[in-house]
Amino acid sequence: MIPEIRRQFNESFSNEKYEALLAEIERDFPTQLDFRIAETPVFVPQSLKIKLLQACNDIIDTLVKDDFKAKTARAIPANQDVPNEDAHPNFLAVDFAVCHDEKGELTPQLIELQGFPSLFGYQWYLGQKYKKFFFSPKNFSQYFNRLNMASYVEHMKKVLLGGEKAENVILLEIYPEKQKTRLDFEISKQLWGIEPVCYTKIKKEGRKLYYEKDGRKIEIKRIYNRLIFDDLLQNFPDLETEFKMTDDVDVKWVTHPNWFFRISKFTLPLLNSPFVPKSYYLSDLKEYPTDLENYVLKPLFSFAGSGVKLNFTKEDLDAIEDKENYLIQRKVKYEPVIEDTDGNLIKTEIRLLFAWEDSAPRPRLVTNLARLSRGEMIGVNFNKNFDWVGGSCAFFED
């Protein structure tokens, strides 16, 4: 995206450096890396950065409106409504495809957004590894709002711990040691002292929750929630646990599970911005657009891209019985803009990551992640057996 920077990076790149980076991660965290790291970071020019920031402001303007909760009440499934919802999520992730506009200039287009945390620990770690092993230009940063490597960690600590002792804050997952994101859990533990705790290991006494560590029973006061209901329902439908996520308990959720539904694909039709493709709830359409080939069909209540259809017909839409659970979104054309060392061009998606303190009126943009793809869609299933694809980190021009 910045030709001179890309040229310098590619000239300095070698497979030996890439293998050395992977080897260091394995030494730091043996057997914990379970997803592909791209060979390159993404270097974002200031012109695209400005558009990304404007796009996020447009989106957040909708999220902070007084009527947002009323408009998204239907997003929360009745059997997954968790008590004690707070005023806003503590974390927000916003995914943009990098595209070209009608003038041929780089522009972001929203793909998805989540009222849910992402790889806040791992990205801090990965950014450092890219800078250590590869060409790192001056005046580029993975952080925003005057944060740096150290102040980012401190800011995240404030949001995660909320003034509590680290041992009273847990990272909640189902069998965290088996999750592909377990490397992020380990880094989060090192940075902020938050113990990854399995859903099955939590004990409940009245409205209090506890976990055991080193033979001690420790009260849980805050839950850094990384557990997705869909994961439980699809993969562990018969799981019996002492604590249920829908229990009324005396803890602070970080982020509260209801925000996973409120700020999601469900939110897309509510947004209005030149950087947000038009979206419609299927149940609201009296007539379908005549150019359905330019739309993608998405189930409202799924994750990790499951159920998305890139090609469908009017008859396919007519056959859907629960139309209230689907939307159509105008397709986005990812523009291949990153050149590898062989001259091939690669698509990229940039996820901007926000942290939102309890008392703050708006979330604060803190860092990012990026993903590179040669396939039809972003994601592992579309990029098997390719190089220069996978998870990455973006460095933004100051």
- Give the mean pLDDT of 114-131: 97
Q: What is the pLDDT of residues 142-152, one digit of tens each?
A: 999 999 999 99
Dihedrals phi, psi of 395, to nearest 5 degrees: -110, 125
Helix (H, G, I), strand (E, B) or coil at 251: coil
Taking the whole predicted model, whether its pTM rises above 0.75 is answered as yes
Q: Which of 282, 271, 325 is nearest to 300 (CA)?
A: 325
* Separation between Cα atoms, residue 69 and residue 67, nearest integer Å: 6
**Tokens 């979104």, residue?**
329
Helix (H, G, I), strand (E, B) or coil at 249: coil
**Tokens 């088996």, residue?**
178
Dihedrals phi, psi of 378, to nearest 5 degrees: -75, 140
Helix (H, G, I), strand (E, B) or coil at 363: coil
Indicate the helix (H) or strand (E) that contains 154.
Answer: helix 149-161
Question: CB-side exposure of 316: number of CA atoms within 13 Å?
Answer: 14
Q: What is the pLDDT of residues 241-299, one digit of tens each?
A: 999 999 999 999 999 999 999 999 999 999 999 999 999 999 999 999 999 999 999 98
Averaged confidence pLDDT in the chain: 94
Q: What is the pLDDT of residues 383-398, one digit of tens each?
A: 667 899 999 999 999 9
Give Rg (Cα) of the chain. Answer: 21
Dihedrals phi, psi of 268, to nearest 5 degrees: -55, -45
Percent of the chain scored above 70 by pLDDT? 96
Residue 398 CA from chain centroid, whole number = 23
**pLDDT the model gives residue 373:** 93
Q: In one letter, which amino acid is 355?
A: A
**pLDDT the model gives residue 303:** 61
Judge whether residue 316 has pLDDT over 80.
yes
Judge whether residue 45 has pLDDT over 80.
yes
Split at pLDDT 50, 70, 90, the class of 375 is confident
**Tokens 């859907």, residue?**
320
**pLDDT the model gives residue 300:** 86
C-beta of residue 387 within 8 angstroms of C-beta of residue 34: no
* Separation between Cα atoms, residue 99 and residue 397, nearest integer Å: 18
**pLDDT the model gives residue 330:** 95
Q: What is the pLDDT of residues 11-26, one digit of tens each?
A: 999 999 999 999 999 9
**pLDDT the model gives residue 380:** 55
* Separation between Cα atoms, residue 89 and residue 91, nearest integer Å: 5
Split at pLDDT 50, 70, 90, the class of 301 is confident
Q: Which of 210, 167, 204 is nearest to 189 (CA)?
A: 167
Judge whether residue 41 has pLDDT over 70.
yes
**pLDDT the model gives residue 305:** 57
Q: What is the pLDDT of residues 324-338, one digit of tens each?
A: 999 999 999 999 999
Split at pLDDT 50, 70, 90, the class of 78 is confident
Q: Which burial class, exposed, middle or buried, applies to 362 when counting CB atoms under 10 A from its CB (0-12, 13-18, 19+)? A: middle
Q: Which of 202, 193, 194, 260 is nearest to 227 (CA)?
A: 260
Split at pLDDT 50, 70, 90, the class of 64 is very high
Indicate the helix (H) or strand (E) that contains 146.
Answer: none
Strand order in the sheet with 222-225: 195-198, 169-173, 222-225, 252-254
**pLDDT the model gives residue 385:** 73
Residue 84 has a CB neighbour count (10 Å cut-off) of 12
Split at pLDDT 50, 70, 90, the class of 229 is confident
Percent of the chain scored above 90 by pLDDT? 90
**Tokens 């522009």, residue?**
107
Q: In one letter, which amino acid is 267?
A: T
Judge whether residue 379 has pLDDT over 70.
no
**pLDDT the model gives residue 253:** 98
Q: Burial code of 321-346, b = ≥16 C-beta within 10 A, e = fewer?
A: eeeebbbbbeebebbebbbbeeeeeb
Reported for 309-315, long-range contacts at CB under 8 A and 24+ positions apart, including other chains, are 310/376, 310/377, 314/288
Tokens representing residue 85 in the block: 């919802």
